[in-house]
Structure 1
């Protein structure tokens, strides 16, 4: 069988499978839903959203090039946009505001707070979970302490950890600044289903306990790579608590919310805010119960607020950091730190400020300096973006997890700042020779989700191409030494170390770099021209195979049913079950937990005799049915297939086999002759075929 190793570095639950059906992921972290909710409601949590920037139908208003100025015109712009049927369909409760130079040009609510009472959304009264927009306020709290001289950006974080020593093999500390720029090198730590409390009797975990129960090791050299980092923001909140001597939520309440008059904002779910919270709905239209979070004041994403309160913060931020009383909330230095990019893979493609990020798809700033922060949590999405040079800010929040914010961002930027389009590279740049471009070739794995892959190859004609699990295959054109654009105009930037070796790239996932993986050691019986060399060698490079490289791989050896389930469980992080075995014949199987877990997920059903037959070779059609169920579990909707199958596939497997063929989840063993596809359905799956399937799940279209 394929010997596989589990990795703790990513939460991979169905991420690879989701990549097959999404152009761009909402996030690379999926939270586990409560038992009462469908898995289709397992949405991104505390994660920076990836914005597709698909413009809505044009708004028939005169174009302005100097930014929003007239309140009536701004209100007309918003009303026209949110009156569109395709936009209205994306959320039932929306609150939005636009500010400029200390004035609120528009602050409005659209829709109703819930479908039962039909109470209109009030921009001052209706509360929303703003998810990762919370991180802006956590960073602001850190910057206040920096202003006061109680913290230095260059401090080793261990100074504030009560003697705890960070696990690291690097002779370089993690600093406060690295927490702010998400360049810590930490192993991924994200909130999970355990952070959602639907039962009022459950007691939230204390912030300190949560921090030290889940403290990640440093797995990359600190300061050298960007990876959106929930734990870094959580740790910022704990450090605020340590330094100030005040509970984190109370500190923010006292030193930010109260001075600014943000009376409807809190990091904890108070009874009053719960009463005013807009009702969120799952994709089926069912109300999502009100939930609390654990810890109750989670620095990376538990904040609840209103559009009115966010307008107060944006205006203070954009006009000198002062509260209405004249109290300085943030110094000029702090404001500059939060408005200036400090991490960039390329000067034309920045990563983060202290608290904000670059727009998620570059090339949509229309020549303006823009900083953004977005967030998703179960049932709610938000986005804030600021144009500091224009003293202008926009905030939107709503009660679904759709791309409504994309519509507003695109319409706003094109309507008010349409005078200049972004470009990449130098106009007269001369691309390097093929011998120089060869250094970019290789396999790259996303730091947040290693199942999001990019494969860079150099063609015989000297052209670089990329295969990416999210965007497919594209040609690359070099526009600077380490900067390329693909054939759709999207940028791809590389990073090199001091020795000139390529270490990272940034492409389809704007909130994380992808690391260049080491070359495969190979196997004696898998030469480079073997028809299955690519998937086998790449899986080995990714660390998903632990077969001894000095021994034959035995590519034609058949795979048992138990081995197949184990392979998928490892690759997709399908959780093993600790429940008693439901099948009578898996008690002694080394894959008992994986098989039981697959049963509980609905991936397998077993035989009509109550057995699973884990040691029997799995047929190719059986494997297809299991893959089709996983795809369905991930939310993939199969379209009507035009595949004509050769005789030999059982009727119960035909639909699944066609789905696997349509999605190219196979290797060269599948052949087509005279328009008829032979899947060889009754044959036992072997190791090389399983390797092809596994790699295709990671890198669709390969």
Structure 2
């Protein structure tokens, strides 16, 4: 259910805590297409990346043979280059499907090809579009008001009044409710027997803190979407799974779609297997379940079914003779509802906006450990694209495909670079560390974001993001706005009343802004302290090793003090290294599905360190009071003590002191 953003290698690192994808190996197999569409044999190709160039004259999208050949060329190259086992795509225009095709394999063990009609892919966070559509159905029925306190509708869960302003459905749909991020150890499960019986059970057990007033900043939230799903359930009086089937899947003739977990037995022959790669071999991944978070990510669908869903949204709620939304409701849902900066794409009611070649797209993606999905609608052109992958770097392939598609069929009217303006004031104020607003504050999740920070520096009066071959330079094009040199991507900054920079947003991710990182949150600050402390600890250990003879001649209290110092130093180093290794060794599935025994046991170590540090503080007082050793050695002893205090404070600040699980 994690949100996926289709990014280049550097850009993916900017959202490192949000798009954790499995690396998967694969090959191409046979494909199936809808009746009336010509199927072509899939062949392996070289690993040359398909060039993405701009055409002067748009190609004709109604030429389906040319469209199919174009998509084939991209899929063949990317699936080989990016090691993707299988993929599926559907493209719609107006009220028709103009392309629906599968590539590669849906099940390598059975040599089963991908069928765009019946093969069911996990779509993770793209499921949210069903939830938001259901919400808007209830809005137009007068059962939900977008601007009423959601506690009015909730029966089994109550959101605390942390701030005077209540959270509304509009806040949930624009991800501006102000919840912190969470999920470590409970967001997914691999055991269907552990699935909770209700959405409310999960929300109550893992309630997230409100960390900012609603309506101020967008911060993508699975918790918020799940709350919306619960409201659908409690307002309609129909279980969430049943509601989605009755009021969305059935009227749209989505026969091979479900939000039920585990997958019903009747759909098992249609299940697409997700794959991981180990030592160059395909390994079927362990299926994951969203459980109580199902409104945020439990969907399993076919490409043709999603084509029906896209048609309904592009036709203002109408599919065939079915009307799942009134035209005015659909138009409201597709309109900008929140913008961090008026000059950049914003957030609609459930969709995120994206600009490509001068066109506004409304989109939603999704990823889990094996699957990557993207849905893109262009309301102005009545065109929609759905694409999904069952392994490998599907996100990169989707990025290639979408950009190439728009370059070919909707080239930018003016490809010239924006005219850069000279800055009247130093841009040095924008330099510094930034962290995503989508992060945790209250529990152990906080430490998982320790490295998820972005550093901005100034170089030749330009802003620099990244380094080396991945460095990107941005020049100022208007006050507080910068554009990528040689590209069209933009970033903007927000300042407070005194002119101090407080936030930054990447134009490609309007629902995930960043805020200026305070000193205590900066990983560089802590790494300097930890590095210095580590050196002091090492000198203490070396002193114990190389001064054994001198220590033997000391009085018992002096010996005890020396051994306590070295023991605390060794334990502090061991604690940090152990916890760091345990956390870094966790893959995406382990991180979100369980609290491992190794993690639980490793968290005992900081608690023991607290006791050792307190003893060391008392010992340091006695060392000075009784004037043990030389003044230099007493100073060193004090440095060891202060380093132990610093290490303890590190564990405390990053919620590693005790078992602070969400």
TM-score (norm 1): 0.67
- Structure 2 residue aligned with 1:495: 494
Looking at structure 2, the residues matched to 109 and 580 of structure 1 have their Cα atoms a distance apart, in angstroms, of: 41
1:395 and 2:412 matched:
no
Call closer, same or farther: CA 1:91–1:580 in 2, change over 3 Å: closer
Once the 2 structures are TM-superposed, how far is the Cα of residue 469 of structure 1 from its aligned partner?
Answer: 8.8
SS in 1 for 2:277: coil
1:127 and 2:108 matched:
no
Once the 2 structures are TM-superposed, how far is the Cα of residue 396 of structure 1 from its aligned partner?
Answer: 0.8
SS in 2 for 1:146: helix
- Structure 1 residue aligned with 2:313: 317
Looking at structure 2, the residues matched to 406 and 58 of structure 1 have their Cα atoms a distance apart, in angstroms, of: 13
Call closer, same or farther: CA 1:168–1:487 in 2, change over 3 Å: farther
Q: Indicate conservation of the 8 Å contact 1:133/1:383, yes or no.
A: yes
Q: Indicate conservation of the 8 Å contact 1:226/1:351, yes or no.
A: no
Once the 2 structures are TM-superposed, how far is the Cα of residue 90 of structure 1 from its aligned partner?
Answer: 3.1
- Structure 2 residue aligned with 1:281: 275
Call closer, same or farther: CA 1:563–1:175 in 2, change over 3 Å: same
SS in 2 for 1:304: strand
Looking at structure 2, the residues matched to 554 and 107 of structure 1 have their Cα atoms a distance apart, in angstroms, of: 59
State how 1:360-439 maps to structure 2 within 5 Å.
Answer: 365-402=356-393, 403-420=396-413, 427=419, 429-434=421-426, 437=427, 439=429
CA deviations 1:410-443 (Å, max 9, x no partner) are 2211111124357887x37442312xx4543443
1:244 and 2:236 matched:
yes
Q: Gaps (5+ residues) in structure 2?
A: 3-7, 25-46, 440-448, 539-568, 584-590, 611-615, 617-639, 655-662
SS in 1 for 2:125: helix
- Structure 1 residue aligned with 2:512: 512
1:92 and 2:85 matched:
yes
Looking at structure 2, the residues matched to 126 and 357 of structure 1 have their Cα atoms a distance apart, in angstroms, of: 27
Q: Indicate conservation of the 8 Å contact 2:23/2:391, yes or no.
A: no
1:564 and 2:573 matched:
yes
1:307 and 2:300 matched:
no
1:263 and 2:263 matched:
no
- Structure 2 residue aligned with 1:622: none
Once the 2 structures are TM-superposed, how far is the Cα of residue 328 of structure 1 from its aligned partner?
Answer: 1.9
Looking at structure 2, the residues matched to 393 and 371 of structure 1 have their Cα atoms a distance apart, in angstroms, of: 10
State how 1:529-678 maps to structure 2 within 5 Å.
Answer: 537=525, 557-558=536-537, 560-567=569-576, 574=583, 590-591=607-608
Instruction: Indicate the structure with greater helix content.
Output: 2
Once the 2 structures are TM-superposed, how far is the Cα of residue 254 of structure 1 from its aligned partner?
Answer: 0.6
CA deviations 1:251-271 (Å, max 9, x no partner) are 111111101101111101211
CA deviations 1:177-205 (Å, max 9, x no partner) are 1111111111102374662234x544444
Looking at structure 1, the residues matched to 600 and 185 of structure 2 have their Cα atoms a distance apart, in angstroms, of: 26
Call closer, same or farther: CA 1:564–1:221 in 2, change over 3 Å: farther
Looking at structure 2, the residues matched to 83 and 342 of structure 1 have their Cα atoms a distance apart, in angstroms, of: 38
Instruction: Work out which of the residue numbers 445, 448, 454 in structure 1 matches 2:438.
Output: 448
Instruction: Work out which of the residue numbers 284, 295, 302 in structure 1 matches 2:291.
Output: 295
Q: Indicate conservation of the 8 Å contact 1:184/1:232, yes or no.
A: yes
SS in 1 for 2:234: helix
Q: Indicate conservation of the 8 Å contact 1:190/1:231, yes or no.
A: no
Looking at structure 2, the residues matched to 485 and 61 of structure 1 have their Cα atoms a distance apart, in angstroms, of: 19
Q: Indicate conservation of the 8 Å contact 1:61/1:77, yes or no.
A: no
Q: Indicate conservation of the 8 Å contact 1:343/1:351, yes or no.
A: yes
Looking at structure 1, the residues matched to 53 and 178 of structure 2 have their Cα atoms a distance apart, in angstroms, of: 47
Q: Indicate conservation of the 8 Å contact 1:167/1:216, yes or no.
A: no
Instruction: Work out which of the residue numbers 461, 478, 481 in structure 2 matches 1:480.
Output: 478
SS in 1 for 2:284: coil
State how 1:320-335 maps to structure 2 within 5 Å.
Answer: 320-325=316-321, 327-335=322-330
Instruction: Work out which of the residue numbers 344, 349, 357 in structure 2 matches 1:349.
Output: 344
- Structure 1 residue aligned with 2:335: 340
1:82 and 2:75 matched:
yes
Call closer, same or farther: CA 1:288–1:30 in 2, change over 3 Å: farther
Once the 2 structures are TM-superposed, how far is the Cα of residue 107 of structure 1 from its aligned partner?
Answer: 0.7
1:254 and 2:246 matched:
yes
Q: Indicate conservation of the 8 Å contact 1:249/1:297, yes or no.
A: no
SS in 2 for 1:260: coil
SS in 2 for 1:190: coil
- Structure 2 residue aligned with 1:158: 151
SS in 2 for 1:410: helix
Q: Indicate conservation of the 8 Å contact 1:22/1:470, yes or no.
A: no
Q: Gaps (5+ residues) in structure 1?
A: 1-10, 12-18, 33-38, 42-53, 522-533, 546-552, 594-614, 616-683
Once the 2 structures are TM-superposed, how far is the Cα of residue 140 of structure 1 from its aligned partner?
Answer: 0.6
Looking at structure 1, the residues matched to 408 and 174 of structure 2 have their Cα atoms a distance apart, in angstroms, of: 31
Once the 2 structures are TM-superposed, how far is the Cα of residue 554 of structure 1 from its aligned partner?
Answer: 8.1
Q: Indicate conservation of the 8 Å contact 1:465/1:475, yes or no.
A: yes
Structure number with bigger Rg: 2
SS in 1 for 2:323: coil
SS in 2 for 1:299: helix
Once the 2 structures are TM-superposed, how far is the Cα of residue 482 of structure 1 from its aligned partner?
Answer: 1.9
Call closer, same or farther: CA 1:193–1:82 in 2, change over 3 Å: same
Q: Indicate conservation of the 8 Å contact 1:465/1:473, yes or no.
A: no
Call closer, same or farther: CA 1:581–1:239 in 2, change over 3 Å: closer
Looking at structure 2, the residues matched to 582 and 500 of structure 1 have their Cα atoms a distance apart, in angstroms, of: 47
Once the 2 structures are TM-superposed, how far is the Cα of residue 344 of structure 1 from its aligned partner?
Answer: 2.3
Q: Indicate conservation of the 8 Å contact 2:432/2:455, yes or no.
A: yes
Looking at structure 2, the residues matched to 181 and 582 of structure 1 have their Cα atoms a distance apart, in angstroms, of: 39
Looking at structure 2, the residues matched to 206 and 470 of structure 1 have their Cα atoms a distance apart, in angstroms, of: 49
Query: After alignment, is 59-68 or 119-128 more displaced?
Result: 59-68
Call closer, same or farther: CA 1:59–1:108 in 2, change over 3 Å: farther
- Structure 1 residue aligned with 2:631: none
Looking at structure 2, the residues matched to 59 and 266 of structure 1 have their Cα atoms a distance apart, in angstroms, of: 36
